[in-house]
Structure 1
């Protein structure tokens, strides 16, 4: 029996979850159904590429062009390591004030997902969404896999918070998401308990 969908919620890694992609990870779950789940890690900054370099790779900025012409929020934007799957592909999680027909997926009333170069151009030209974050790659789960991980005490879940998504610095999102739940990190145990 499939539990209710966790789409549009945060998954917060428990201390027992190790590895480069998921240790201390906060994942925004973009889809969750009986077919599996897909989400974006929103708190791991990529060490592989900077935002200006990415914009140059996709020809949004020309080689040698300075970021001074970009809107202020973009000048500070980090590229996030969204997960181990399809790491050469970009995903923009953004506010719902911007939509590309047939390219934008509404995850919730106020959060959308777009995975095209057009949104990067729109952001660079100041006509994109008011709030956005960019990941390379995503996290994916096969049918039943996420449910198994939840039963094995790998993740906590909570409602997503747009201010945490778009206003909190990536490196502070793990502690901030636990605080949303009223949890002190030092009180978390890596041992699963079953009644």
Structure 2
């Protein structure tokens, strides 16, 4: 499978990058997670965990929200992070349509939080590629930088193939492979050189 071109690097920012949890991660919210960073600036960072599917399918979510009579989409809804975990966040490829509440991350991905995109997806009129998550991961100013300094995370440029074409359980190692790292061979002990 071909790997798509990485997202462009924004100087001083991890926007458009993956965060890979290190084996010694002791926070159950992020243990063995791959997080896509949607925004990172001097005020903090925001991302979506892209490898934690829940037991809830999109069809079940859409039926619960009464968006359709009976939607049978079996794609999973993801646990996007511990912040606002009762709110939907849709990470998706760009579309010609403007959604009520969306933020263009770059030319390859957008994040939308409005119900109009959920209606469109439930009627097979949404973006070509999408991942629906409940909740997000958030960091206050300087918090992510400190965690990176403490060796809690690895980072690498993200790509669409890992997010949309690789099974959820393989995404973390697929991202690590782009760095030449096998997470299964890494020690659970951290340190600084």
TM-score, length-normalised on structure 2? 0.88
Q: Which is worse superposed, 82-91 or 178-187?
A: 178-187
User: Which of structure 1's runs of 4+ aligned residues deviate more than 4 A?
Assistant: none
**Deviations 1:145-179, CA, capped at 9 Å, x for gaps:** 10110000000000001011111111111111111
2:128 aligned residue: 130
2:46 aligned residue: 38
1:180 aligned residue: 178
Q: Check the 8 A contact 2:35/2:47 in 1, yes or no.
A: yes
- Aligned pairs for 1:1-195 (under 5 A) are 4-47=12-55, 49-62=56-69, 65-67=70-72, 75-195=73-193
**Deviations 1:80-135, CA, capped at 9 Å, x for gaps:** 00000101100000001354255221111101100111111111222211100010
Q: Check the 8 A contact 1:52/1:61 in 2, yes or no.
A: no
Q: Check the 8 A contact 1:26/1:174 in 2, yes or no.
A: yes
Distance 1:23 1:99, change over 3 A: farther
Measured in 2, the distance between the counterparts of 1:191 and 1:50 equals: 37
TM-score, length-normalised on structure 1? 0.88
Q: Check the 8 A contact 2:57/2:74 in 1, yes or no.
A: no
Q: Check the 8 A contact 2:99/2:112 in 1, yes or no.
A: no
Alpha-carbon shift at residue 186 of structure 1 (Å): 2.7
- Alignment RMSD: 1.6
**Deviations 1:57-99, CA, capped at 9 Å, x for gaps:** 222123xx252xxxxxxx2311000000101100000001354
Gaps of 5+ in 1: 68-74
Q: Check the 8 A contact 1:103/1:115 in 2, yes or no.
A: yes
Q: How many residues align?
A: 183
Measured in 2, the distance between the counterparts of 1:86 and 1:101 equals: 20
